[in-house]
Amino acid sequence: MNEAIRITRTTAPKPRPRDSELGFGTVFTDHMFLMDYQEGKGWYDPRVEPYGPLHLEPATAVFHYAQALFEGLKAFRGHDGRVRLFRPHKHVERINATARRLCIPPLDPELVLRSWTTLVDVDRDWVPSSVGTALYIRPAVIAVDPYLGVRPSKTYLYFVILSPVGAYYPEGMNPVRIKVVDTYVRAVPGGLGEAKTGANYAASLLAAEEARREGFTQVLWLDGVHRRYVEEVGTMNIMLRIGDEVVTPPLTGTILPGVTRDAALTLLRAWGVPVAERPIAIDEVREAARAGTLREVWGTGTAAVISPVGELAYRGERIVVNEGRIGELTRRLYDAIVAIQYGTAPDPYRWTVEV
């Protein structure tokens, strides 16, 4: 399908922030992408419009029962001035995987990709250029039936907004302190854990707030059944370097199949680093720390890319990682991924798509 996208440009462009002022997700560009869905008609009227509020009735289904999905990916401006999206096809795939779990009708992958390239092209001047900055692309689908019965909606809105961003954590690449939580869980087998849906993030807030009040940056989630196995760190996937091996939990339904997780695993394997996707008990992490074999811990995610963990606190015990410093593989992965994103290194896996 090669449906035409209507473009209505703003008559009142906004001032753009300087790269040095950028935080995460506070500033939005001049335009947004919209597309509607109606049962029996399918997805229709793909269009770019000036960025602005949505007009929705208070009865709108998504406000009550959270039938929604979102994605997050980035566009980078390279030193060569070119604008590249990082692994957009993977994000399209995940949109439809999440849609299936949330009873949201599937989207045409080609049209979703075009919604991103078209919108980024319209707001091209908003893509910042300093290393560490990017244009964050936030697609979402929401259920918009004005109806209070609990059932899948018959109408939906797909929208995409853009936000020029800097570092996700104010700490930047400084190792963060993480609290291991065993009083709350993020996901259980058969639940929503592997879906990119707002409900998972709502479920995480209380634990993260409690951790923050105790001086931690984020939480480390354990599995929802045994509360023993490491699952995710904050909103990111987690990797640990124990001895000579890098270990990360397997994708068995409770953790998000991260695009940066996949990129990191691909690079590690290409570098000949032994990698295992297997369950990791928190006791194994404690014992490795005691034995001196816990060498590095990092999170992977689109927003922060690679985020070093300097300390884990579990039931009052402090597990310090690499004396709180950034590890060698953590740094190497960050540098390698960022180099591909900004086009300063070759892209052998064809992860980038130029706009």
Q: Residue numbers of the site for ligand COI (CB under 6 A)?
A: 72, 235-236, 301-304
CA separation for the pair 50, 33 (Å, rounded): 9
Q: How far is the CB of 306 from ligand COI (least distance, A)?
A: 11
Q: Name the helix (H) or strand (E) containing 139.
A: strand 134-143
Of the pair 35, 256, the CB lying nearest ligand COI is at 256
Of the pair 46, 98, the CB lying nearest ligand COI is at 98
Q: How far is the CB of 235 from ligand COI (least distance, A)?
A: 4
Q: Report residue 66 as tokens.
A: 């959270």
Give one DSSP letter per residue of 12-78, joined into a string: SPPPPPPGGG--SS----SEEEEEEEETTTEEEEEEEEE-------TTBHHHHH--EEE--EEEEE-
Q: How far is the CB of 290 from ligand COI (least distance, A)?
A: 30
Of the pair 122, 237, the CB lying nearest ligand COI is at 237
Q: How far is the CB of 202 from ligand COI (least distance, A)?
A: 12
Using Cβ positions, the residue closest to ligand COI within the complex turns out to be 301
Of the pair 195, 242, the CB lying nearest ligand COI is at 195
Q: How far is the CB of 181 from ligand COI (least distance, A)?
A: 18
Q: Where are the alpha helices (DSSP H) in 43-194?
A: 61-65, 88-101, 109-122
DSSP secondary structure code for residue 195 in this structure? S
Of the pair 217, 302, the CB lying nearest ligand COI is at 302
Q: SS3 of 122, please?
A: helix
CB 239 within 8 A of CB 228: no
